[in-house]
Chains A and B, each alone.
Chain A
């Protein structure tokens, strides 16, 4: 009873944070399950992939209702991510995972630097509204209502090919390394494609469930998903994601970015160290 309650509470926290930031929360859940609860890494990864799906599905309900996510961007970029994920799964063993951990780790550290620079920018969160041929052709520009700033925000984006390649790489990383790719998705939309942070996070939330569904199937049938662990965790995460999706909308984009920075810094350091053989 106690451990189920603990899983429920942890799920609520992870789901809430994940929904706000557009990340799966695996990098929180996996260490807590293995280090604090002494669970085998296999079951920890299985449980965390289920929480990615729960975060995604829970928050998407709210974000769809409040018109926060961009369904076209999501589906277009989802092609890149899923293809990347399949290639990654097929190529396991071909590439050195050491090299990949270091590569993606440093990319996260570089993104941290970029995000800090954006935070320091006195102009604040700028919204890109320029014209772009590909954006027009794919009808990607959209609008959302920012509850924190109480205004309708019309936005466009640019550098769609760059975002597409980044999404493919994110999928590849998740297939090869078994890591979630939510943070990379947010970075692709926010930093590369210049989408506003809130729709970036909401859209990443929608996408990461679709990407995770394939690997979840693998884990489900190979017995990595323990009902006594993943069940209560999923319920907690669903509750947390519903809360997080509400909280995110009243937060100022700047605040969300301030929460995002230490998390990708932590993930970046974790991945670089893992590349050098240090696990934590």
Chain B
């Protein structure tokens, strides 16, 4: 019979490995959004402005056409939107992590969180 304590310890080790992978993926997400925002800020200083006479883009179509036109505000907005997505990424990767650990209860719990979150974000997008 395996010792209960070492069992718990190896389980925690497994959790650690998975957590480190989540950490890596999250870091990529955060760094990507930070770099995009930084590029936008640098463009702002090079172009001497945001590229819009009034306001700034907030719809996807406007943001993408702004980026194509090299407008700094559009690039910053894209970076900010990517930043808003990083918590979603965190939840998605956690589902995978719990799945890897064969922890079905938490696969379900975290999936529920993801569904609620996506529902709330869609609600926000429509309002």
Whether chain B is bound by chain A comes out as yes
A58 at the interface (CB under 8 A from B): yes
Residues on B with C-beta less than 8 A from A132 are: none
Contact A213 B87 (CB under 8 A): yes
- With A212-B87, A217-B124 as given contacts, are A231 and B45 in contact (CB-CB < 8 Å)? no
Main secondary structure of the interface of B (DSSP, over half): helix
- With A217-B125, A235-B34 as given contacts, are A79 and B112 in contact (CB-CB < 8 Å)? yes
A57 at the interface (CB under 8 A from B): yes
B100 at the interface (CB under 8 A from A): no
Q: With the chains together, A60 CA to B23 CA distance in Å?
A: 8
Contact A235 B112 (CB under 8 A): no
A238 at the interface (CB under 8 A from B): yes
Contact A228 B50 (CB under 8 A): yes
Q: With the chains together, A215 CA to B124 CA distance in Å?
A: 7
Q: Which of B1-40 contact A (CB under 8 A)?
A: 12, 15-16, 19-20, 22-23, 26-27, 29-30, 34, 37-38, 40
Q: How many residues of B contact A (CB 8 A)?
A: 56
Q: With the chains together, A192 CA to B26 CA distance in Å?
A: 30
A216 at the interface (CB under 8 A from B): yes
B102 at the interface (CB under 8 A from A): no
Q: With the chains together, A34 CA to B84 CA distance in Å?
A: 23
The 6 tightest CB contacts between A and B, nearest first, are A214-B120, A217-B124, A218-B124, A227-B76, A209-B87, A64-B23
Residues on A with C-beta less than 8 A from B58 are: 220-223, 225
0/1 per residue, A230-255, Cβ < 8 Å to B? 11101100100000000000000000
Query: Chain A: which residue is nearest B58 at the CB level?
Result: A223
Contact B86 A75 (CB under 8 A): no
Residues on B with C-beta less than 8 A from A123 are: none
Contact A60 B119 (CB under 8 A): no
- With A82-B116, A210-B90 as given contacts, are A227 and B125 in contact (CB-CB < 8 Å)? no
**Chain A min CB distance to B13 (Å):** 11
Q: Which of B75-89 contact A (CB under 8 A)?
A: 76-77, 79-81, 83-88
0/1 per residue, B99-117, Cβ < 8 Å to A? 0000101100110110011
* B residues lining the A interface (CB < 8 Å): 12, 15-16, 19-20, 22-23, 26-27, 29-30, 34, 37-38, 40-41, 44-45, 50, 55-56, 58-59, 72-73, 76-77, 79-81, 83-88, 90-91, 94, 97, 103, 105-106, 109-110, 112-113, 116-117, 119-121, 123-125, 127
Q: How many residues of A contact B (CB 8 A)?
A: 52
Q: With the chains together, A123 CA to B7 CA distance in Å?
A: 33
A76 at the interface (CB under 8 A from B): yes
Known: A53-B83, A78-B91. 6 other contacts (CB 8 A): A53-B84, A56-B87, A57-B83, A65-B20, A89-B123, A221-B124
**Chain A min CB distance to B98 (Å):** 8
- With A58-B30, A61-B27, A86-B123 as given contacts, are A71 and B94 in contact (CB-CB < 8 Å)? yes
A206 at the interface (CB under 8 A from B): yes
